[in-house]
C-alpha cells in the first residue's frame, strides 16, 4: 500500500485488495487500469499504439488513467447486449458521456450526448451537447427528451 493506492481509493471509492497475479491470469484479465501522473500517461500513450496490440484497446479515461481492455469489450457492446436482452432498439437508446472511453457508446446510441465538459473528440461525434456535470447536464437531457 502506497500513497498512490490511497489516492485511487479516494477517487474511485474502491477498497484496494492484495492481488494474487497468478490467480488473476488463470481467471482472465478483462481490464487493466494504469494510474499515474498525467505527464507519464501521455508519455506512455506516445510510446504505445493500438497497432502494437492485436487484441487490446488503449484509452485514456481521465488525465491520470490509462485503460487497457479487450478489443471485443466496449460500452457500445454493453448497450447493444442490454438492448437485445430487453428488446430495446438501437435507435431507442441514449448514451451520455464526457471521456474518450465513452466514444463507442455515443456513436452507437440512437442519441449520443456529450456533456458540456466533454473532450472535444466526444463533442464532435455527439448528436447533442448538454450542460456540464456541475450544471445538471444529465437532468437537462432527460427534461428535453422525456418531458417536452
> In the chain, what are the domains?
3-70 (3.30.1240.10), 75-146 (3.40.50.1000)
Using one digit for the tens of pLDDT, what is the confidence trace for 24-57?
778 877 788 888 999 999 998 888 876 777 788 8
List the alpha helices (DSSP H) in the chain: 3-12, 21-27, 38-47, 75-86, 103-108, 120-125, 137-146
Q: Which three three-digit cell numbers place residue 137?
A: 447536464
19-28 per-position pLDDT tens digit: 787 887 788 7
How confident is the model at residue 51, as a pLDDT? 73
CA dist 62 to 25, 71, 79, Å?
Answer: 26, 19, 22
pLDDT at residue number 87 = 97
pLDDT in tens, 81-101: 999 999 999 999 999 999 888
3: DSSP letter: H
How big is the chain by its Cα radius of gyration, in Å?
17
- β-pairing, 56-62 vs 65-70, is antiparallel
pLDDT of the residue at 50:
66
Which residues are CB-neighbours of 54 under 8 A, at least 6 positions away? none
Q: Return mean pLDDT, the chain.
A: 89
- The whole-number pLDDT of residue 46 equals 86
Q: What is the pLDDT of residues 105-128, one digit of tens each?
A: 999 999 999 999 999 999 999 999
Amino acid at each position: 500500500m502506497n500513497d498512490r493506492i490511497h489516492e485511487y481509493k479516494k477517487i474511485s471509492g474502491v477498497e484496494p485488495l492484495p492481488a494474487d497475479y497468478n490467480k488473476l491470469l488463470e481467471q482472465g484479465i478483462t481490464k487493466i487500469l494504469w494510474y499515474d501522473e498525467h505527464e507519464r500517461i501521455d508519455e506512455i500513450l506516445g510510446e504505445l499504439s493500438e497497432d502494437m496490440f492485436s487484441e487490446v484497446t488503449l484509452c485514456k479515461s481521465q488525465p491520470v488513467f490509462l485503460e487497457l481492455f479487450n478489443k471485443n469489450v466496449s460500452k457500445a457492446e454493453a448497450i447493444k447486449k442490454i438492448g437485445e436482452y430487453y428488446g430495446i432498439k438501437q435507435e431507442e437508446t441514449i448514451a451520455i458521456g464526457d471521456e474518450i472511453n465513452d466514444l463507442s457508446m455515443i456513436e452507437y446510441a440512437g442519441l449520443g450526448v456529450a456533456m458540456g465538459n466533454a473532450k472535444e473528440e466526444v463533442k464532435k461525434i455527439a448528436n447533442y451537447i448538454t450542460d456540464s456535470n456541475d450544471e445538471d447536464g444529465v437532468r437537462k437531457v432527460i427534461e428535453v427528451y422525456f418531458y417536452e
